[in-house]
Amino acid sequence: MIKRKLTVADFFCGAGGFSEGFSQKGFDVVFALDNWQPAITTHKFNHPNCRTLKMNILDLDTPEKIGHYVPDVDVIIGGPPCVSFSGSNKAGKADKALGIKLIEAYLRIILWKLKNGNLKYWVLENVPNAGKYIKDVYSWKDLNLPGKGPNLVFEEKGILNAADFNSPQARKRFFGGKVPLPEPHLINPDNFNTLQNVLNSLTNPLSKKRKEKIKDPNYDLIIESSLLTDHFYDTRIAEYEWRRAKRQKEDHGYMGKMAFPENTNRPSRTIMATRSASTRESIILNATNDEGKHLGYRLPTIREISSLMSFPISYQFNVSGEGSKYRLVGNAVSVKLSSAIAESILLKEGIEIRNNLGLNNIRKTIYDLTDSKRLIKAQKNKKYNSRFSRHIPYLKIKGFRVELTNEDSDFKKGIIKWSCILHRGVGKNTDKCYSDECDIATIVKDIPNFNKFKKDIKSNFGSINISHLRLHDSHIYVNSKSISPHGVLDLMRKIIDKHFVDESNYISNNSKQINIDRELIPTKIIAGLYICDYFVKRLRTTP
């Protein structure tokens, strides 16, 4: 049985989530490396006895450099940057070259230390998609080491979800290496740690009646309210931001529906590294005062997302700016999951498991966001080549949707063209046809009360006198006085709802008036196609 503490080196250490999990189980984190100064500063602040090094891991490209900078340790941990492999980066099609290069640089250090040091365990963390690009075995030559040596073998590979280890965040990550991967602690979803638990423990950040004591939602830790950093400040967001996020979540063109605002009675969704308020990935909460009055919507505070990542409430993010703090937290390894991996190593070694928060300070960072005043983000004009592709809001039936788009424009030549497209399908590669390819006049004759519908269209759209270019201007310029594409789509939906209530009615497409392989098409979709086509054909080609 090993009597001493097992030592750890943490590469791509970031804020120190991986280190913190191992430290809590009694490991001695002796070395940490990162290429970003705020990460080094934060890691050193929370783990003052660890030697930190600001360096690009790609510079450790020879055994001599590895031997000079990297100490001999029992365990090496690391999570190479995941941006190359993330599914949210260019829909998962981003260039993987740099990501693979960083992974191989990390594995090179591990293989050298396995042959020339005391290394017993090692683990690599990344997004699930990265697992597709990581081989089971790397040769000495693969990792560009001189001479001859053994292979590096991934003895374990798997996808672990932080929520299964009592973290209040559903965060799936790939883990692999020479490490006993832990079994999930939680099986019953009713026992999961929830977002609401975090909100209740930290209390309302907009409250003017702050509690004297704050209980950590993840640990047996209570601190004075005055010591809780990065929480009691205003994170409310502009209306245009939350409306955009709401549409992306509830009415995305080809992806499923998400809750708006967040469902707090379950673990939160994955924390991202970028602070965003207008995307599908945004975590948006209700903003209320002490009396429960609705004050709009807000983003989580830095302290809330750090607790979702299962950092202790005394952990400090020693960098100025909310954006940098968000990046530190969002790129971290879930502390609870890190602790579970550390515990699995102790069990295999037969070492007594100790639970220790592992922090040597409860001092406040000088960059505390408490009571800071944020300006509500002003909406800005878009770039001239800004594309627009939106379907008639909340009108998706059996995979069908009608879209207004400027995708066929030639922005370089200054030629703007708006089109109406009928889509069928839930993925990006949907069946589609342009309205001018459809025999709308033939099929709409079967629509009940069509004459009344047509009359209503003319009364609402007949007076709109606008060109393709001016509609584009209203899309890109915030203060444009012309009707916007969103306004057009909202009006279309209003007219359709006035005349068609039942979504179960269908029109026959037996003679293929519409060039999509379906015999029946929802009546409301046909109505949407007709009204969108009517509008597009009324747009002037002259300015």
Which residues are known to be catalytic?
A: 82
Burial of 515: CB neighbours in 10 Å, binned 0-12, 13-18, 19+ = middle
Number of neighbours of residue 156 by Cβ within 10 angstroms: 14
| Spatial contact of 275 and 328, defined as CB atoms under 8 Å apart | no
Q: What is the rounded CA–CA span in Å between residue 169 and residue 152? A: 32
Q: How far apart are CA 60 and CA 217, in angstroms?
A: 40
Q: Record the tokens describing residue 40, joined without a space.
A: 């080094």
Extended beta strands in 406-469, E state? 419-424, 431-434
Distance CA 516, CA 22 (A): 56
Q: What is the CA radius of gyration of the chain?
A: 28
Which DSSP symbol is given to 374?
P
Strands 28-34, 7-11: pairing kind = parallel
Are 96 and 89 in contact by the 8 Å Cβ rule? The answer is no
Residue 267 DSSP class = P
Distance CA 198, CA 228 (A): 14
Which two three-digit tokens encode residue 419?
């089109």
Distance separating alpha carbons of residues 197 and 207, to the nearest angstrom: 17
Cβ atoms of residues 525 and 395 within 8 Å: yes
Cα(317)–Cα(159) distance, rounded to whole angstroms? 28
Contact 411, 476 (CB under 8 A): no
Nearest-CA neighbor of 494 among 521, 471, 524, 466? 524
Q: SS3 for 41?
A: helix
d(CA 444, CA 538): 19
Instruction: Specify which residues 232 forms β-bridges with.
Output: none
Taking the C-alpha atoms of residue 150 and residue 110, their distance in angstroms, rounded to an integer, is 12
Question: What is the rounded end-to-end Cα distance, in angstroms, of the chain?
Answer: 82
CA dist 23 and 354 (Å) reads: 10
Closest CA to 134 of 113, 115, 162, 156: 156
* Dist. CA 163–CA 190, nearest whole Å: 12
